[in-house]
Amino acid sequence: MSLNVLGSLAADGGGFQTPTSAEFYQPLWFDGPFAITRPAVVLILSVGLIAWWLIASTRRAAVVPGKGQWVTEGLYGFIRNGVARDIIGSKDFLRFVPLLFSMFILILVNNLFGVIPPIQYPTMSRIGFPIALTLVVYITYHYIGIKRVGVGPYFKHLVPSGLPGWIVPVIFALEVITFFITRPLTLALRLFGNMFAGHLLLLLFITGGQYMIVNGGIGLKIAGGGSYVMAFVLTIFEILIEFLQAYIFTLLAATYIAGSLVDEH
């Protein structure tokens, strides 16, 4: 039924253009591989904003914190204690807190930009940004592991001891693929996919609702209103996802670092 209504609407009204992945490529200056795109500008803006906020909220740090200091300390304590200390362990965690904290806050702010007007662009919905962040994590945990035990033993330690001999080559191949391909791939794709899909969904409900209200009859105008309600509900949901993805990325980075630091085999 509803499909028919939409079909006929598309047939006579010139058609509703569903948002596609092409919406995400928005060059502002130049074109081609060196174009300065909207997400690049959003990222630079976020870095400036974060730097200003962290300096402004902690410059006159007091024992009884003001509102800004309270928020910054809360976020910092959350990453320092809840992620870094509890996962990496109290012996080594302090030197990784700056990395994890800046990573968390950068991803969080950029994700939240996806729903904050007038920016409304989740930087991480362009795959290059998650890949760059993942590379930092990737190099860090391999570097720590290789520096701690050396190249040969590092590969030897990939396989847990005590396995039956005949299965060791198979498990070794599996571990190498997991450590060197699956882990970074899933880390980058999870963040990218969540931000991309969420933003596309919001775009669809908002542009679709607008189209139905502007071009449709009375029935479609009501459906368009429903579409806006959905857009609102999904925006709330999206904010939750944005927090969650920033947290999971940081949590996994800490897990990988912890794995390179402890003798778990």
Partner 1 sequence: MNEPNQPPDDPIGPPDPDAGHPRLEEAHMWNVVSYLISGPVMFGGIGWALDRWLGTAFLVPVGILAGMAVSLYLVWFRYGTQQ
Residue 6 to residue 1: CA distance in whole angstroms: 9
What gap in Å lies between CA 196 and CA 184, rounded to an integer? 18
From 16-24, 52-60, 142-150, 245-253, span contacting partner 1 (CB under 8 A): 245-253
174 binds partner 1 (CB under 8 A): yes
Give the interface segment with partner 1, choosing from 18-26, 78-86, 127-135, 216-224 (CB under 8 A).
Answer: 78-86
Pseudo-torsion of CA 49, 52, 54, 55, nearest 10°?
170
Please list the residues that pair with 36 across neighbouring strands.
Answer: 29
String marking each residue 79-118 x if it binds partner 1 according to CB under 8 A: -xxx--xxxxxxx-xx------------------------
Determine the Cα–Cα distance for residues 34 and 130; give it in Å rounded to an integer: 18
Interface segment toward partner 1; rule CB under 8 A; list 1-9, 26-34, 74-82, 201-209:
74-82
From 73, 131, 193, 210, residue interacting with partner 1 (rule: CB under 8 A):
73
Q: Does 212 bind partner 1 (CB under 8 A)?
A: no
Shortest reach from residue 151's CB to partner 1, in Å:
22
The verdict on 251 binding partner 1 (CB under 8 A) reads yes
Is 170 near partner 1 (CB under 8 A)?
yes
Q: Does 259 participate in binding partner 1 (rule CB under 8 A)?
A: yes
| Three-state secondary structure call for residue 160 | coil
How crowded is the C-beta side of 104, counted as CA atoms within 13 Å? 25
If DSSP codes are grouped into helix, strand and coil, which group holds residue 36?
strand
Tell me the CA distances in angstroms from 137 to 37, 113, 131, 171, 201, one per residue in order.
25, 23, 10, 24, 29
- For position 68 contacting partner 1 by CB under 8 A, the verdict is no
CA neighbor of 117 nearest in space, from 202, 223, 20: 202
Residues that bind partner 1 (CB under 8 A): 73, 76-77, 80-82, 85-91, 93-94, 160, 162-163, 167, 170-171, 173-175, 177-178, 181-183, 186, 248, 251-252, 254-255, 258-259, 262
